[in-house]
Amino acid sequence: MGIYLNPNNMGFQKSVRSKIYVDKTGMILYTNECLNTEEGFICVSRPRRFGKSMALKMLVSYYSCGCDSKELFAKYKIAKDDSFCEHLNKYNVIFLNMQQFLSEAGQQNMLNYLEQTVVEELKEEYGELLKSNDIKLSAALRKIYAKTDKQFIILIDEWDCVMREKQEADELQKQYLDFLRNLLKDQTYVALAYMTGILPVKKYGTHSGLNMFREFSMTDPMQLEEYVGFTEMEVKELCQKFGMDFDEVSQWYDGYSFTEFNHVYNPKAVVEAMLSGRCSNYWTKTETYEALKIYIDMNYEGLRGDIISLLGRAHIKINTKTFQNDMKTFLTKDDVLTLLIHLGYLAYLEDTHEVFIPNKEITEEFESAMSVSGWNDVMEVLKSSDKLLEDTLLCMSSRVAEALDKAHTEVSSVLTYNDENSMSCAISLAYYSARKYYRMIRELPTGRGFADIVFLPLKTVDKPALVVELKYDKDAETAIRQIKEKNYTQTLEDYSGEIMLVGISYDKGIKKHSCVIEKHVK
């Protein structure tokens, strides 16, 4: 039992003893299937505080022959599988936290420091086999395996810290990738290699030495999507246990969507909300909004307009394939938006190749970043949104039209009305503050078409629902008539009470909005 060689299971013990532990041991079923196969090289990239390190502690506890973890896992999912005892605590495990080595190396070469430190610990256990004073780590592991016939599982946390923190150190990055390739590729002593980081691995320049890894990322989590965060069922169970309102928790932390699991929640934020008994901005407090500000302020044509559309609840189609998987090489706005997916600030729909802002917590972070930058026009629209909502609820249709004219003028230089979809983005942005009281749904299916925007009041809010229909180059009366004729209000099955029917039109000739508001009781 050591620090790097066969650590104990104390890390995972702390996890399961915590007030909140969500069972993710099912992931071990997948890693067991990958042992000693071509699929046994796994790189998992997720945003910070999304449980990457906890997963590694779990794998250490399960595979390391330096501990006895049968009782620790006994009540969790993995213990019910036939493969549980077959691999439990049967392997030599090497656990490397690259952030630790980068921080501790100081003026020393990080890789020399790493090899020296880990080999020293190997010699404590296998000194009779490692008599050379300058033996490299890979050579040491080969020799140990040759003499003991016992394979290693290599677990690496923060694998990409060199790429993130030493962005200009191209030679160090190349040396680091060469080190990983030599340590892992085509080595018979490796039964499984599992790396975690924020960035995927495969496109650092022309260097492809780590192409044996299968990448499980925020753009394509594949078989591990259930383990990216908390699933909807897991969050419902937590809300019931801690007396939290599920709808409110969903609005704050849901939004990451994958092929099978359409609702994946930020785990750090959910845990903090449950422990504190209130929803707030928890995940983003772990890093200053300056990090987001740097990227949304980048001067790429169309990026500013896309950010504004995203804030208006739009989905933006992007190409993620040009992203170079680093934090400095940006050729297009799509590269910036792809980085924001990996950082957790945007969610991604693989089927449609679209990005969007996932939830209220992230929306607030965008607002904070924009408030200290050159986004004064947008901030003016957001500040005016309280009055716009108030006038809408008072049926002050002329004031609503005037306010929308003003909002459109503020952002028209980067958000142009071309059709009802772009108009919908701008209107959603104008009603920004409504999100404090409502769940906003764009393009709500009604059975007879789609209601453009629906505002459903949160359970704790005493306000009427709003059904908004938009018309581009048609009159507002037509919009109201469509709401009635297609019976959009009947779609709100779980809602009863007053509903505001809001018809909004835009005349591109005179560049003016018009508005009609009617009250309806369901």
What integer pLDDT is reported at residue 488 of this predicted model? 83
Query: Does residue 298 sit in helix, strand or coil?
Result: coil
The pLDDT tens digits for 448-499 are 556 788 898 888 888 999 999 998 888 899 999 998 888 888 777 777 888 9
The pLDDT tens digits for 422-458 are 788 888 889 998 988 888 887 766 555 567 888 988 8
Q: Are 363 and 311 in contact (CB under 8 A)?
A: yes
Structural Rg of the chain based on CA atoms: 27
501's CB contacts (< 8 A; 6+ apart) are 467, 469, 480, 483, 484, 489, 517, 518, 519, 520
The residue with greater pLDDT, 258 or 288, is 258
The residue with greater pLDDT, 328 or 16, is 16
What integer pLDDT is reported at residue 442 of this predicted model? 79
Report the residue count for the chain: 522
Reference 97, options 42, 5, 141, 159; nearest CA is 159
The continuous run of DSSP H or E covering 248 comes out as: helix 246-253
What integer pLDDT is reported at residue 464 of this predicted model? 92
Q: What share of the chain is helix, strand, coil (3-state, %, to 5)?
A: 45, 15, 40
What integer pLDDT is reported at residue 502 of this predicted model? 94
Reference 197, options 156, 257, 258; nearest CA is 156
What integer pLDDT is reported at residue 287 of this predicted model? 62
What integer pLDDT is reported at residue 56 of this predicted model? 95
Rounded-to-integer distance, Cα 392 and Cα 161, Å: 50
Rounded-to-integer distance, Cα 97 and Cα 56, Å: 10
Rounded-to-integer distance, Cα 192 and Cα 35, Å: 5
Could you give the percent of the chain with pLDDT greater than 90? 60
Taking residue 10's Cβ as centre, other Cβ atoms within 10 Å add up to: 11
The pLDDT tens digits for 52-86 are 999 999 999 999 998 999 999 999 999 999 889 99
The pLDDT tens digits for 297-309 are 887 888 988 998 8
The pLDDT tens digits for 380-392 are 888 899 999 999 9
Reference 47, options 362, 330, 304; nearest CA is 362
DSSP character at residue 518:
E
The pLDDT of 149-174, averaged and rounded, is 90
Residue 268: pLDDT over 90: yes
Q: 7: buried, middle or exposed (CB in 10 Å: 19+, 13-18, 0-12)?
A: buried
- Kindly provide the b/e burial profile for residues 219-246, where b requires at least 16 CB atoms within 10 angstroms of the residue's own CB: bebebbbbbbbbbeebbbebbeebebeb
Rounded-to-integer distance, Cα 415 and Cα 413, Å: 6
What integer pLDDT is reported at residue 327 of this predicted model? 84
DSSP character at residue 470:
E
What integer pLDDT is reported at residue 489 of this predicted model? 81
Q: Which tokens go with 374? A: 């050159």
Q: Which tokens go with 200? A: 């995927």
DSSP line for 406-465: HHHHHHTTTS---SHHHHHHHHHHHTGGGGGTEEEEEEEE-SSSEEEEEEEEPTT----E
Residue 1: pLDDT over 80: no
What integer pLDDT is reported at residue 335 of this predicted model? 94
Q: Quote the distance between the C-alpha of residue 12 and its chain's center.
A: 23
Q: Are 173 and 204 in contact (CB under 8 A)?
A: yes
What integer pLDDT is reported at residue 299 of this predicted model? 79
Q: Are 458 and 251 in contact (CB under 8 A)?
A: yes
pTM as predicted: 0.90
Q: Are 444 and 486 in contact (CB under 8 A)?
A: no
Rounded-to-integer distance, Cα 123 and Cα 269, Å: 42
Domains of the chain and any CATH numbers: 10-216 (3.40.50), 225-374 (no CATH), 384-521 (3.40.1350)
pLDDT averaged over the chain? 89
What integer pLDDT is reported at residue 422 of this predicted model? 78
The pLDDT of 124-136, averaged and rounded, is 86
Taking residue 36's Cβ as centre, other Cβ atoms within 10 Å add up to: 11
**Considering Cα of 214, then 217, then 220, then 222, what sign does the dihedral take?**
positive
Could you give the percent of the chain with pLDDT greater than 70? 94
The pLDDT of 396-417, averaged and rounded, is 84
Reference 361, options 265, 226, 466, 428; nearest CA is 265
What integer pLDDT is reported at residue 444 of this predicted model? 65
